[in-house]
Structure 1
Amino acid sequence: MSNGFGFSFPNNDSNDGDDGDRNDRNDNPFAAFGFNFGTGAGGQGNPAGQPGNLGDILNQFGQMLSGMGSSFNNRTAGDAVNFELALRMARQRIGDSPSVSTSDTTAVTESLRLADLWIDDATTLPASSARPAAWNADDWLVNTMPMWKRMVNPVAENMNRAQLESMPEQAREMMGPMAGMMNSMNAMNFGMKLGHALGDLAQQALTGTDFGLPVAPRDVAAILPKNAAAVSKDLGVPGQEVLVYIAAREAARQRLFTHVPWLVERLVSSVEEYAAGLEIDTSHIEEIARNLDLESGDPQQLQEKLGELQGMDLTPRVNSRNELATSRLETLIALVEGWIDVVVAEALNERIPSAAQLSEAWARRRATGGSAEQAFANIVGIELSAPKVREAAELWRRAHNAVGLQRRDKVWDHPDFLPTAEHLDNPAAFIDTLLDDSPDTEFDEEMARLEEELRKQNDGDEDDEQ
């Protein structure tokens, strides 16, 4: 699980500031809030190597709140996250976002139409009625924010609850009068971190749903052509082929989200279920404190014990009483993405020269960046194990070979019909369930023949009576 209070936002951008800035942020735990004191070369009015005094700290804190303006209190009632601040921070991170050109919009629309036509042969699920849309990074931020709100709010709310429950009773009583201010501070902190993560994702996103999450509005098939063009350049693959491949994945995913009505709710409710059970575990910190033996009175022993603390993890651990929700989420994402891998490969492999290369590039992207598990860890606070997408894809291929396209896709009719996590490691067991449940063709044909003979016999008897 994530070690932070519900959110973990590693910044892996090697261009994000120079080494000196990174060192300052690592040494100064208040740097994220704009406080520059107590470390490094010192800021204005703070000599190098000299910690700022309480007056400096309070002054900088006041300046920070003043700079935030209305952001401190300007949040929707009932929200545990300052989403207005999150959107502003994300927009600052992506910078200028050029408008989508008419030619790009046309290319997206035509690519989705072509992809849907080809996918018709690879699945029995009909095409969705989703409206084609070409987005830039800012469009992605604005249009996906409602779903991020739904998923992030429960996590933040329950994290606030868990933090309060982890405090001693006396401390909780003392916090009472400051509850409003602390809620606003937490909402602002969550908003800053959410904005940072969403800004990064907006620059990676290729479609409205390519992280395996239904974050785009319902009935909208969105593609980000500028981000797709960057992929084309990096891989050395013609832009038109990249766009059609991305469109095929989005079109396939839209078929699932449209014609499998329980799927979106199951994905989102798993996040909500996980959040409801959040709790903070400080037992390892308490154990370390007991072992310090601070009452021994031996200064040398005390110094040795304190030295041992340097290499210990003193971060409170975040767990959930509903860990099974995470496992279900991992399996469902793997099944969705694995099914899409199979459908897109069957639809495109004979039609696009670079289809196999693009599929492998997508698999690497899933494993190393912009993947569903990273999106959850960075934004929703759930650190998933790497979904077994390759195993899921192999399962769907074998199901197709064993029982055909129609029977394979009928599995999506009800969540109870889906493969389990165990089936991903043992697909043969799932294939057996399909074979046991598959219709007996010979029996059906024999029954039809008998029924036809009886019908003819009855018709003959009626003629005789006349």
Structure 2
Amino acid sequence: MDGMQVIDWDLAVTTGTRLVRPGPQVSREEARQAVTELRTLSREAEGHVREFTKIHTETAPQPATIVDRPGWIKANVEGFRVVLEPLTQRMTSTATPPPAIVAAVGSRITGVEVGAVLAFLASRVLGQYELFLPPDPTGREPAGRLTLVAPNIVHAEREMNVNPQDFRLWVCLHEETHRVQFTGVPWLREYIRSQMTEFLLASDLDLPTVLERLRSAADTVADVVRGGEGNLIDAIQSPGQKEILDRLTAVMTLVEGHGDFVMDAVGPSVVPSVAIIRSKFAQRREGGSRLDRTMRRLLGIELKMKQYAEGSAFVRTVVDRVGIDGFNKVWTSPETLPTTPEISDPAAWIRRVVDAPALPA
């Protein structure tokens, strides 16, 4: 038992599962077909992605895991637990435990809130490469898991009225790119994890500061609902966290942008209706109800859309100028990752990393 739980994770799962909307109506047979086809297509996508990216992975990839909405919620709560572990340990090891009432109320409220956010996302996410899995009991650390949310993929293809097989392969291409990145670049996962841990530990955790931050977070919520620009992530971070977040944002922008770039580059040759899918999908990303748009802004998902665009522009420019092999120098080490300014100025990254004189042996 880990002393004081910062978040009641079981409550997060039950809340999320209770709140999530049921998926589209599909017969048993249709569901079974969708699952089988997604498994097959993820294998096919993987071949295309490896060949195009020239990133070689040692490990034979596991087949994709196909989940429903509650399954996605459970998987994400497990991932959160792994990422938040260091923070929980630090809060439990400080000399003065928080007053019991704060602990009791805190973990319940946050459990409900986490559940509610996950329920919102669970009906929208199509697929995800899960980086942070609970430790494998056999001790053979899995390198992450590719998850596809079948009901959401079926819902999206129906809503957009696109060719189901093309759409499924298209989604698989993006997610498979992430799998190839993280299995082919062995240090990447640990790098992101350590940045996240550092980010969490850099928060000034004394109660007055936290309350102060939460108050400003409440103002942010009010502001976004009125149509403002803020997001919760910005509202609750310390100056030390700003730097780390910059590094995290840069690496995530690269990883997401590379996913989009590969999907665009490979798409036309293997997904016949890729142009239709792209334009309909872009419209769908923009659309949604007022609540949808507000939630997306609060959770920084709007930011993520901008990131996709900036990241794939960076990758495209670099590949155009120095080819895929030149671009792949980005995966050499944390030092060769682009900084935030370099993402908007690919030439600067090329000068620093690709044209840099080789170090004397």
Superposed CA offset, 1:366-396 (max 9, x none) = 6678x9xx78964xxx899555332221221
1:33-112 superposed matches below 5 A: 77-94=3-20, 101-112=31-42
Quote the residue 1:318 is aligned against: 236
Residue pair 1:231, 1:242 contacting (<8 A) in 2 also: no
The 1:215–1:243 alpha-carbon spacing in structure 2 relative to 1, beyond 3 Å, is farther
| Aligned mates of 2:275, 2:357 — CA distance in 1 | 32
- The residue identity in structure 2 corresponding to 1:206 is L
Deviation at 1:190, TM superposition (A): 0.7
The change in CA–CA distance for 1:282 and 1:181 in structure 2 (over 3 A counts) is: closer
Give the match for residue 80 of structure 2: 148
Offset from partner CA, 1:57-101 (integer Å, 9 cap, x none): xxxxxxxxxxxxxxxxxx853421101111110110125578894
Which of the pair has more CA radius of gyration? 1
The answer to whether the 8 Å contact 2:87/2:200 transfers is yes
Give unmatched runs, 5+ long, in structure 1.
1-74, 165-171, 285-316, 440-466
**Structure 1 residue aligned with 2:312:** 393
Question: Alignment partner for residue 131 of structure 2, among 205, 214, 218?
Answer: 214
Counterpart contact for 1:281–1:319, Cα < 8 Å: no
Deviations 1:126-170 (A, max 9, x none): 365132222111221222322111334566788x89xx9xxxxxx
Counterpart of 2:249, as a letter, is: E
Q: Counterpart of 2:51?
A: 121
Aligned residue type for 2:40? E
Aligned to 1:180: 100
Alignment partner, residue 331 of structure 1: 250
Aligned-pair distance for 1:435?
Answer: 4.4
The amino acid that maps onto 1:112 is S
**C-alpha separation between the residues in 2 aligned to 1:81 and 1:344?**
37
Q: After superposition, where does 1:31-430 map in structure 2 within 5 Å? A: 77-94=3-20, 101-126=31-56, 129-152=61-84, 179-209=99-129, 214-215=131-132, 218-279=143-204, 280=209, 318-320=236-238, 321-360=240-279, 378=299, 385-386=303-304, 387-430=306-349
Deviation at 1:325, TM superposition (A): 1.4
SS in 2 for 1:129: coil
Partners in 2 of 1:208 and 1:80 — Cα distance? 26
- What TM-score do you get using the length of structure 2 for normalisation? 0.74
Going from structure 1 to structure 2, the CA distance change for 1:346 and 1:264 (only over 3 Å counts) comes to same
Once the two structures are TM-superposed, the CA of residue 201 in structure 1 deviates from its matched residue by 1.5
Tell me how far apart the structure 2 counterparts of residues 437 and 355 of structure 1 sit (CA, whole Å): 38
- Cα offsets for 1:226-261 (capped at 9, x unmatched): 111111122221111111001111111100111122
Give 3-state SS (helix, strand or coil) of 2:271's partner: coil
Partner deviation per Cα, 1:264-309 (whole Å, 9 max, x = no partner): 223233332222232427889xxxxxxxxxxxxxxxxxxxxxxxxx
Residues 114 and 383 of structure 1: CA distance in aligned 2, closer, same or farther (over 3 Å): closer
Sequence identity, in percent?
Answer: 19
SS across alignment from 1:223? strand
**2:138 paired residue number:** none
- Root-mean-square deviation (CA), in Å? 3.7
Amino acid across the alignment from 2:69: A
Residue identity matched to 1:181:
I
- Structure 1 412/435 Cα, relative in aligned 2: closer, same or farther at 3 Å? closer
Matched AA of 2:66? A
Q: 1:431 Cα shift?
A: 2.3
Q: Distance in 2 between matches of 1:111 and 1:146?
A: 26
Q: Is the 8 A contact 2:296 2:302 kept in 1?
A: no
SS, match of residue 3 in structure 2: coil
Query: Which letter maps to 2:20?
Result: I
- Specify whether residues 364 and 263 from structure 1 end up closer, same or farther in structure 2 by C-alpha distance, changes over 3 A only: farther
